[in-house]
Amino acid sequence: MDPVTHGLASYALARAAFPRITRATLIAAILAGTAADLDQLSAYLGPSAFLAWNRTFLHSIASAILLAIVFAVALALLRKQKTDSLRIVLPLFLITSLLHLAMDLCQNETVEALWPFHSRKYSLDSVAHLDLWILLVLLAGALLPLLLGLVTEEIGAKSKAPRGRIGAALALLTVCVYIAARFVLHGNSVALMDSRTYRGELPRKVAALAESATPFHWHGIVETERALRELDVDLSRASSFSPDSSVVSYKPEPSPALEAARITEAARRFLQGARFPKASLEKTNTGFRVEIRDFAREGDSHSQRRVIVLVETDPSGGVLSQGLLWDPFSR
């Protein structure tokens, strides 16, 4: 998810679980809950570094533990006066770091949650990268208690209870219920697409990617033997769902150039994380040009830079050049 949503979620968790912590601890908890997104800076080092580091090392359970320890030690060193004890600070930073991982696990993009023990990438596809409903609920949970506190101060009423705890807890509970509902709707979308045939072909692989505006609308992707298909899945009108309305992208015929491109080092690295790899073949003056993209990310309007594989071969399939490049159609 976006850093603003992560920051608000960490704020709500800190307010709900540890309402009497100092301001310095609260700020550190928010930073610990957003620090994993620092891996996006790898984009400045190029597409190869971005592919290797984005949503890998920092988006793992091991990294969440390490970040909690780092922020706890940093807070203890930077604060000269008395601060919260380690038995409060360390668990707080750990759960905000793990909350970041859990929220990103729910969205469309994959994370290597078990790094470095396992390189498998996980994604539940239940929430969009920027979910407006989650953002608004968390924002309301943070701002409304502050506004109510100002009103009670104006009328002279005083409360000994920590300000914002109830609002933060309600916001977190609402977000959890919302994500659970989206998880159920995601399963319904996948089942709907998987139960159909597509011009006589059975689906090999199906994905329903979340969209921000409404939990009832999903971006569907279906892979069959000969093609990749994009569909709009509207669960509010599930009875009118038609596989024939899909946008079809046919796979190229097998060839020596495609096979040579597939086994290159650049393609191997890319295919480890690509969910729906899509190859295109173009004849050139020196042979063939092969491009490989991730079909699942092409329809994501919130994804920023995307990496592609470019391989050039001679007419017989010998590799002339290979590399990881930025997709010119991405931001």
pLDDT at 172 over 80: yes
Q: Which amino acid is at 107?
A: Q
Element containing residue 66 per DSSP (H, E): helix 61-78
pLDDT at 151 over 50: no
Could you give the C-alpha distances from 227 to 101, 248, 273, 289, in angstroms and in order?
33, 7, 20, 20
Q: How much is the pLDDT for 325?
A: 94
Report which of residues 47 and 83 the model is more confident about.
47
pLDDT, tens digit (0-9, with 9 covering 90-100), for 64-78: 999 999 999 988 888
Q: What is the mean pLDDT of the chain?
A: 89
Are 211 and 194 in contact by the 8 Å Cβ rule? The answer is: no
Q: Select from 72, 142, 133, 134 the least CA-distant residue to 103.
A: 134
Question: Can you read off the two tokens belonging to residue 155?
Answer: 């009328």
Element containing residue 322 per DSSP (H, E): strand 319-326
- The Cα 223–Cα 319 span in angstroms is 28
The strand pairing partners of 227, in sequence order, are 250
Reported confidence tier of residue 153, pLDDT bands at 50, 70, 90? very low
The average pLDDT across 205-217 equals 91
- The Cα 128–Cα 160 span in angstroms is 39
Question: Can you read off the two tokens belonging to residue 257?
Answer: 């150039």
Neighbours of 82 (CB within 10 A): 7
Q: Which amino acid is at 76?
A: A
Q: Select from 53, 86, 82 the least CA-distant residue to 71.
A: 86
HEC-encoded secondary structure of 82-150? CCCCHHHHHHHHHHHHHHHHHHHHCECCCECCCCCCCCCCECCCCECCCCHHHHHHHHHHHHHHHHHHH
Are 227 and 252 in contact by the 8 Å Cβ rule? The answer is: no
Report which of residues 159 and 97 the model is more confident about.
97
Grouping H, G, I as helix, E, B as strand and the rest as coil, residue 282 is strand
pLDDT, tens digit (0-9, with 9 covering 90-100), for 261-271: 999 999 999 99
The number of residues making up the chain comes to 331
Q: Which amino acid is at 242?
A: S
Comparing 28-42, 114-128, 157-171, the range with the smallest average pLDDT is 157-171
- The Cα 231–Cα 9 span in angstroms is 32
Comparing 198-212, 222-236, 288-302, the range with the smallest average pLDDT is 288-302
Reported confidence tier of residue 159, pLDDT bands at 50, 70, 90? low
Q: How much is the pLDDT for 80?
A: 60
pLDDT, tens digit (0-9, with 9 covering 90-100), for 136-149: 999 999 888 766 65
The average pLDDT across 13-40 equals 93
Q: How much is the pLDDT for 131?
A: 92
Q: How much is the pLDDT for 164?
A: 76
Q: Please identify which residue in the block is written with the tokens 């920590």.
A: 162
* Cβ neighbours for 235, distance < 8 A, ≥ 6 positions apart: 185, 188, 189, 192, 216, 217, 218
Reported confidence tier of residue 154, pLDDT bands at 50, 70, 90? very low
Phi and psi at residue 2, in whole multiples of 5°? -75, 155
Report which of residues 148 and 61 the model is more confident about.
61
- The Cα 145–Cα 168 span in angstroms is 9
pLDDT, tens digit (0-9, with 9 covering 90-100), for 217-242: 999 999 999 999 999 999 989 888 99
Q: How much is the pLDDT for 249?
A: 93
Q: How much is the pLDDT for 173?
A: 96
